[in-house]
Structure 1
Amino acid sequence: MEHVDVAVVGGGPAGASAAHAAAEAGASAAVFEKGVPRADREGLGPDSTDAAGILDYWVDIMDIHPDEFPDDVLLSELDRAAFVGPNESCVLRSTGIGSSYDAFGYTFHRAKFDDWLRERAEAAGADYRVGVSVKDAETDLRGDPRHTLRLASGDAVSADFLILADGPQRTVTNRVLDRFLPFPVTDHLGTTAANHIAYQEHRRLPAEIAEDLRGAITFWWGHIPGHTAYPWIFPNDDDVARIGLTMPIGLDVDAVPDRGAYPLLRPDDETVPGGSEYLRRLLEHEYGDEYDVPGDFPLVEDRGKSTGTETYPISSTRPVDSPVEAGIAVAGGAMGTTSAFHEGGDHVAVRTGAIAGELAGTGDLSGYNAAWKEATGDEILRNVTMADMVRDYRPDDWDRIFRTAREMLAETEGYGMFERKFAAGWDAMKLLLSYRWNKRRNRDLVNIHESDYVY
């Protein structure tokens, strides 16, 4: 049977980063990636689960500066984020968190980013196998080696350490973790089904619109119903932008209160509109008075997964600790770090994968759970807190929050506005208190603790 020191299931940002770090540490590392086709990639590769934007302080969390990228990965630099409610809006020009990256952030080509991570891992000596599906990973704590990967081909590969990075659907991860838990893993890590769906289109903008949106990531909150449901526009290159949205799956439109308050819902909607219809309505709502929609916003069919469009599931949960005593680490979306609140988590996936790979490569995973919390815990806590704060928001709540935030942050404080000891005005005080209360309530980040595992 073939043997490697570190076996990695999944070749996305977490898996490729894990293999790179393990190989850099001197271990033999192999990545097993089933691969999916994309129109914007020459061969098979990992699936995309991200709108592909990075904020300034995320650069330090990811621990990869964009100066390291090939020229075709980074698409545009950002200088602001705009948040648009039904009647109010605010602009954020700083996250308020110190970073080594000078701009507000950047957008990038996700498939080319994945390909570069693969090339980086291979250059370090890792073996990246695409088109290879893992059916299961078995562990014998008394065995030497401990782990055996069962491949769809019928072959088997043994390994001393196992890193699970199979994304937010956790096809292998759930099966492996279940064997070490006294309760079903899906009770705590979500199910194998997605709870959100993301859809986006690559469209060429009219020159005037492209210039107006250049440097800005724009989000429309309170325009469609559902927890953490929002459309967005991300500028790319050559006046092309990603226009997309995230929305929950299975929402009953008849159960939506105040349906008429949502600008992109119609009184005669019998079901929640699909992603493409929502985006058509967004463009009509914003630009229909001056432009022919969608004629003036044509699809760029040689981008994205298929004819200029992308659809991908998100299974958003809180993260879990890993059964490190068994020589297993879970990283990235597989451990629950993909957030529907900010649409993705490439920066956290890369960092958790790198930590897992480095520790496995040096032969000791025992510090992994503490290490990923030290590196990414503040970021995850921030997102969990924000998502809880807005869980029951309706359109008028978004207007109130944007009006209050505009008065509080003066465009420069970003998240720093939540660190104030005092804020003038009742709405500002409620905002601060809500954030702090939710942050305290969520300070225990994980759904499954290391102590829950039974060996």
Structure 2
Amino acid sequence: MERFDVAVVGGGPAGSSAAHGAASAGASAVVLEKGVPRADRPDRLGPDSTDAAGILDYWVDIMDIHPDEMPDDVVLGELDRAEFIGPNESLTMRSTGISSSYDHFGFCMQRARFDDFLRDRAVEVGATYRTGASVRNVETDLDRSEGPRHRLELASGEQVGAEVLILADGPQRQVTSGVLDEYLPFDVTDRLSTRETNHIAYQEHRRLPDPVFEEVAGAIKFWWGHMPGHTAYPWIFPNDDNVARIGLTMPIGLSLDDVSDRDAYPLLNPDDDRVPQGSEYIRRLLEQEYGDEYDVESDFPVVEDRGKSDGTETYAISSTRPIDSPTAAGIAVVGGAMGSTSAFHEGGDHTAVRTGAIAGELAATGDLTAYNDRWKAAVGDEVLRNVAMADVVRDYHPDDWDWAFATARKLLDSGGGYSILKAKNIRAGFGAARLVASYKRAKFAARNGRYVQIPETDYVV
């Protein structure tokens, strides 16, 4: 059995960052990544990468990796705004309202290359990164007199031993759920059921006509109130060479029987007997926005050599409510597996990188005791914002989105981004008071780490 100080399950942003943090501090670290083929990573197996919206300005500081450190082909283009489009109202934000060291609104990136950059970065400082290494089982012996605390059995039959285990297997938690179940007095799926805590996302890489790409260049665009479901929305994210990622996110298992005002959603048709598939939603969005001037199928072709397979990707996004880790057992859960990513704003690479880095740094010492406090200090404000906003909009219908965008637009003169939700704006009229107060109530309810859905005190170690 091969032994390491730290074993990391999953080689995405969180896992590679954990290995980098551990190896940088002198520990021996191995990343065990099952490896999946991708059309845009033809010569190398790696994690089941997902192209998210990109990185916003203050996310650079959370991530603690500046784009100047990345290879040139990772960053596809700079962003200067976010556009939020309701059925009848819209809002454009050119500032996140949060100070940062990055000079632009944000940037779009090629996620597979970003993953490879983080992987190479970890290997350069001494970490071992193995693909084709699928973890089948984990056994932990806390009372051992000799031998490693954790024994990981791979699909190949090999065993890997480690003193510290870092779980970074993403929002589907294929390994994490089984490991945590040993330390919880309830069935882990009661809190971490994929259908309850995750969203499903689908996107296509399409080449846009010149005038359309010029219109969307520099913007991440979201259509809220156009399709049913909590934090359900389509998007367009520009990349390079006139290509954009066009996709959507929605709850898993949504039924039209639960939608009372179907006629209010522009992307639903009267004869729909079930929620449309992702590809159909995208076709309807493009027809709605550009069908008067273009033939969608011929003028917006799918770029088949991008994305995961044939220009498309389907993937899970974790909920906005994270979990603590059973650190007394020498286990840390990071990134999407811990739920630090967000369906609300379609992103989480920054929190994945940061939580992984913290866990790796502590793992090198052999003591994870401080991990749950450390990750909250580093990304807690970000998680709290996402949880609060997701709770505020939980029961929003199309007309609520129109009202929210119209109200927020009136507040933009006092600042951009989250700054429009500052308490001072409660005095800016009834609508503003309602918007700001609802956000403040949601933040207050989730304060002091109450956004955590499995606190450390729930674990029995």
- Map of 1:15 onto structure 2: 15
Within-5 A mapping of 1:20-31: 20-31=20-31
Within-5 A mapping of 1:49-68: 49-68=50-69
Output the CA distance in 1 between the equivalents of 2:321 and 2:423.
27
Within-5 A mapping of 1:31-430: 31-41=31-41, 42-143=43-144, 144=146, 145-191=148-194, 195-316=198-319, 318-410=321-413, 412-421=415-424, 422-430=426-434
Deviation larger for 308-317 or 371-380: 308-317
**For the Cα contact (< 8 Å) 2:33–2:132, is it kept in 1?**
yes
Shift of 1:250: 1.7
Shift of 1:52: 4.0
1:436 aligned residue (431, 434, 440): 440
Aligned residue type for 2:110: H
Output the CA distance in 1 between the equivalents of 2:311 and 2:164.
39
After the TM superposition, which parts of structure 1 deviate over 6 Å for at least 4 consecutive aligned residues?
Answer: none
Aligned residue type for 2:458: D
**For the Cα contact (< 8 Å) 2:180–2:188, is it kept in 1?**
yes
When the two structures are superposed, what TM-score results if normalisation uses the length of structure 2? 0.96
Shift of 1:51: 1.7
Aligned residue type for 1:138: E
Shift of 1:192: 7.6
Q: Cα deviation per residue 1:41-73 (whole Å; 9 max; x = unaligned)? A: 022110124424111001111111000110110
Counterpart of 1:97 in 2: which secondary structure? coil
Shift of 1:185: 1.9
Counterpart of 2:431 in 1: which secondary structure? helix
- Map of 1:454 onto structure 2: 460
State how many pairs are aligned. 455
Output the CA distance in 2 between the equivalents of 1:180 and 1:252.
34
Aligned residue type for 1:81: A
Shift of 1:452: 1.8
- Map of 2:4 onto structure 1: 4
1:153/1:169 Cα in 2 relative to 1: closer, same or farther (>3 Å)?
same
Q: Cα deviation per residue 1:162-184 (whole Å; 9 max; x = unaligned)? A: 10111111111111111111122
Shift of 1:411: 8.1
Shift of 1:336: 1.3
**For the Cα contact (< 8 Å) 2:153–2:159, is it kept in 1?**
yes
Output the CA distance in 2 between the equivalents of 1:253 and 1:401.
24
Shift of 1:189: 2.8
Structure 2 spans left out of the alignment, 5+ residues: none
Output the CA distance in 2 between the equivalents of 1:432 and 1:344.
24
Q: Cα deviation per residue 1:178-223 (whole Å; 9 max; x = unaligned)? A: 1111122222233488742111111111111111111100000001
**For the Cα contact (< 8 Å) 2:320–2:344, is it kept in 1?**
no
Sequence identity of aligned pairs in percent?
71
Counterpart of 1:44 in 2: which secondary structure? strand
**For the Cα contact (< 8 Å) 1:189–1:318, is it kept in 2?**
no
Output the CA distance in 1 between the equivalents of 2:254 and 2:111.
29
Output the CA distance in 2 between the equivalents of 1:196 and 1:81.
22
Output the CA distance in 1 between the equivalents of 2:7 and 2:225.
44
Deviation larger for 143-152 or 123-132: 143-152
Counterpart of 2:187 in 1: which secondary structure? coil
Aligned residue type for 1:445: Y
Shift of 1:308: 0.9
Shift of 1:391: 0.6
Output the CA distance in 2 between the equivalents of 1:191 and 1:312.
12
Output the CA distance in 2 between the equivalents of 1:183 and 1:253.
32
Counterpart of 2:205 in 1: which secondary structure? strand
**For the Cα contact (< 8 Å) 2:51–2:110, is it kept in 1?**
no
Counterpart of 2:299 in 1: which secondary structure? coil
Shift of 1:322: 0.8
**For the Cα contact (< 8 Å) 2:33–2:133, is it kept in 1?**
yes
Output the CA distance in 2 between the equivalents of 1:291 and 1:163.
49
Aligned residue type for 2:301: P
Shift of 1:423: 3.2
Aligned residue type for 1:448: I
**For the Cα contact (< 8 Å) 1:61–1:376, is it kept in 2?**
yes
Output the CA distance in 2 between the equivalents of 1:288 and 1:128.
47
Aligned residue type for 2:140: T
Output the CA distance in 1 between the equivalents of 2:423 and 2:339.
30
**For the Cα contact (< 8 Å) 1:316–1:340, is it kept in 2?**
yes
Output the CA distance in 1 between the equivalents of 2:136 and 2:218.
43
Counterpart of 2:298 in 1: which secondary structure? coil
Q: Cα deviation per residue 1:246-277 (whole Å; 9 max; x = unaligned)? A: 01222221331221111111111111111111
**For the Cα contact (< 8 Å) 2:13–2:118, is it kept in 1?**
yes
Output the CA distance in 2 between the equivalents of 1:233 and 1:358.
37
Q: Cα deviation per residue 1:111-152 (whole Å; 9 max; x = unaligned)? A: 111111111111111000001100111111122421111111
Shift of 1:91: 0.4
**For the Cα contact (< 8 Å) 1:10–1:33, is it kept in 2?**
yes
**For the Cα contact (< 8 Å) 1:49–1:344, is it kept in 2?**
no
